[in-house]
A and B are shown apart, each in its own frame.
Chain A
Amino acid sequence: MVVAVAIVLLSPVVLGFLIVRSLSPARHPRWAGFALHVSLGAGLGAGISSLVYFLVWLLIGPSNTAYVTGELVLLTVAGVGCWMARGRSAAKGTPASSGSWTWLLVAALVVALGLSLTLFISTVSSDPYGTWDAFTVWNLRAKILAQHDASWKNAFSPVLSRLAGGRATHGDYPLLLSGYIARCWSLLGSVDDVTPPLFAAGLFSFGTVGLIVAGLALLRGRSAAMMGGLVLLGTSAFLFQSPWQAADVPLGFYYLAVFVVLFLFDAEPNGHRAMVLAGLAAGCAAWTKDEGMLFALLSTLALAAYLYLSKRDQPVTTLALFMAGAFPFAAAALYFKIFLAPKGIWAPVTLSSVAHKLMEPGRYAEIVKALWEEVLAPGAGVAHPVICLAVLAVCLGAPRARLRQPIVIASAGAWLAVCLAYFFSYVVTPLDLAWHLATSLGRLLVHLTPSGIFLAMVVFRTAEETAVLAEPQKAARVSRKKARRMQSARS
Chain B
Amino acid sequence: MMENLRYPVKTMVGLAVAAALSLYGTLAFYEDQTVRNQNMGDPYHIGDEVQRLAPLNREIPPGTLLGYITDVDRGQQFMAVQYAVAPRLLVDAPLQDLVLGDFSRALDYAEFGRQHGLTLAKEFPLGAVLFRRPH
Chain A interface residues (CB < 8 Å from chain B): 97-101, 104-105, 108, 111-112, 115-116, 118-119, 122-123, 126-129, 132, 135-136, 139-140, 143-144, 146-147, 149-151, 154, 157, 159-160, 163-164, 168-169, 191-192, 223, 226-227, 230-231, 233-236, 239-240, 379-385, 387-389, 391-392, 394-396, 463-464, 466-471, 473-474
Interface of B is mostly: helix
The segment from B32-40, B100-108, B117-125, B127-135 that touches chain A is: B32-40
User: How far apart sit A192 and B62, CA to CA, in the bound complex (Å)?
Assistant: 13
Question: Given A383-B28, A387-B21, A464-B5, does the pair A147, B89 have CB atoms closer than 8 Å?
Answer: no
The answer to whether A470 touches B43 (Cβ under 8 A) is no
Interface pairs (6), CB distance under 8 Å: A127-B41, A163-B78, A164-B78, A227-B22, A239-B26, A395-B15
The answer to whether A135 touches B46 (Cβ under 8 A) is yes
Give the Cβ gap from B109 to chain A, nearest Cβ, in Å. Answer: 25
Interface size on B, as a range, is 35 or more
Beyond the given A112-B26, A230-B23, please list 14 additional residue pairs across the A-B interface where CB-CB is below 8 A: A108-B23, A128-B47, A151-B62, A154-B89, A163-B92, A164-B78, A169-B79, A227-B15, A227-B22, A240-B29, A395-B10, A466-B10, A467-B11, A468-B5
- Residues of chain B from 69 to 110 with CB closer than 8 A to chain A in the complex: 74, 76, 78-80, 82-83, 86-87, 89-92
Residues of A within 8 A of B14 (CB): 391-392, 394-396
User: How far apart sit A118 and B34, CA to CA, in the bound complex (Å)?
Assistant: 10
The answer to whether A127 touches B87 (Cβ under 8 A) is no
B90 nearest in chain A by CB position = A163
Give the Cβ gap from A124 to chain B, nearest Cβ, in Å. Answer: 10
The answer to whether B6 touches A380 (Cβ under 8 A) is no
The answer to the question of B112 belonging to the interface, with a C-beta cut-off of 8 Å to chain A, is no
Partner of B18, one of A136, A239, A388: A388
Interface of A is mostly: helix
User: How far apart sit A136 and B12, CA to CA, in the bound complex (Å)?
Assistant: 48
User: How far apart sit A226 and B44, CA to CA, in the bound complex (Å)?
Assistant: 37
The answer to whether A470 touches B6 (Cβ under 8 A) is yes
Partner of B13, one of A119, A223, A384, A395: A395
The answer to the question of B115 belonging to the interface, with a C-beta cut-off of 8 Å to chain A, is no
The answer to whether B33 touches A123 (Cβ under 8 A) is yes
The answer to whether B37 touches A126 (Cβ under 8 A) is yes
Question: Given A230-B18, A388-B18, A396-B14, does the pair A470, B8 have CB atoms closer than 8 Å?
Answer: yes
The answer to whether B87 touches A108 (Cβ under 8 A) is no
Give the Cβ gap from B103 to chain A, nearest Cβ, in Å. Answer: 20
The answer to whether B24 touches A234 (Cβ under 8 A) is yes
A123 nearest in chain B by CB position = B37
Residues of A within 8 A of B82 (CB): 136, 140, 163
- Residues of chain B from 54 to 68 with CB closer than 8 A to chain A in the complex: 62-63, 65
The answer to whether A116 touches B26 (Cβ under 8 A) is yes
Partner of A392, one of B2, B18, B25, B26: B18
Which of B15, B43, B78 is packed against the most chain A CB atoms within 10 Å? B15
The answer to whether B63 touches A151 (Cβ under 8 A) is yes
Give the Cβ gap from B85 to chain A, nearest Cβ, in Å. Answer: 10
The answer to whether B27 touches A240 (Cβ under 8 A) is no
Residues of A within 8 A of B26 (CB): 111-112, 115-116, 233-234, 239
